[in-house]
Structure 1
């Protein structure tokens, strides 16, 4: 897929639909937020907007959302931004709603993921 903000609404809708189909409606809002933030990071910080989004069921009823891109630059959560700053909250939001999150380096780039239970 292409990390284009114009497509994020449709992506969130599909994530919610899939989680409802899996009987995990309670995770839909958190998963949608994580996907939006991960895709936004690709859009803003990776030279190519091409990426792969995956949603995986985890044993025990959780889900893992992941976005893989072609950059080897690992995202780092910085200090909380000031109240008037427009950027810098994405990874902090993911950390707040996910049970775990991280980055896995791959031969072609990286995959940034969040697990929700």
Structure 2
């Protein structure tokens, strides 16, 4: 298990970890996000970030192809945190806007959309990264 950290307020990657593609990895991803945001002094954004990373990991666990996923937490700008999950599937996730009947599953990206300033998918030849960006103002 490798965790990379940079002491700067921005940088790529800030923190990242390769995890098994299994539901239990969401807990490890949440710890990584909590560590990153605490190191950057952005504790007030931890709750929203936890929901976002949980949903992104859940999607990667369900739709990824290989045995592992990669969680990445970066700070591309002073007031922005990007949470991403990389998997080896090139299937682009779609946000469900229908009621989905009585099913609870299938609306995670609606949560991601509501909690992030923006989100998206970066396709690569070998797979994709699904990410969400939080606008984060450091405490004064």
Fold match, TM over 0.5? yes
- Structure 1 partner of 2:12: none
Name structure 2 gaps, 5 residues minimum.
1-18, 136-140
Q: What CA deviation, in whole Å up to 9, does each residue of 1:63-106 have, x standing for no partner?
A: 00111111111001122434631211110000000000000101
2 CA distance for matches of 1:25 and 1:108? 34
On the 8 A contact 1:19/1:25 being kept in 2, the answer is yes
Q: Among residues 57, 60, 64, which one is paired with 2:82 in the alignment?
A: 64
2 and 116 in structure 1: CA distance in 2 versus 1, 3 angstrom threshold = same
> 1 CA distance for matches of 2:22 and 2:44?
26
Residue 109 of structure 1: which of 103, 127, 139 is its match?
A: 127
Distance 1:46 1:110 in 2: 9
Deviation at 1:15, TM superposition (A): 1.1
TM-score (norm 1): 0.90
Deviation of 1:8 after TM superposition, in Å, equals 1.9
Gaps of 5+ in 1: none
Q: 2: CA distance between counterparts of 1:33 and 1:61?
A: 19
Contact kept? 2:25, 2:57, Cα under 8 Å = no
How large is the RMSD of aligned CA atoms in angstroms? 1.5
Q: Please tell me whether the aligned partners of residues 71 and 108 of structure 1 are also in contact (alpha carbons under 8 angstroms).
A: yes
Write 1 or 2 for the structure with the bigger share of helix: 1
Task: Specify the SS of the correspondent of 1:77.
Answer: coil
Look up the match of 2:31. Answer: 13
Moved more, 7-16 or 68-77: 7-16
- 1:100 is matched with which residue? 118
TM-score, length-scaled by structure 2: 0.76
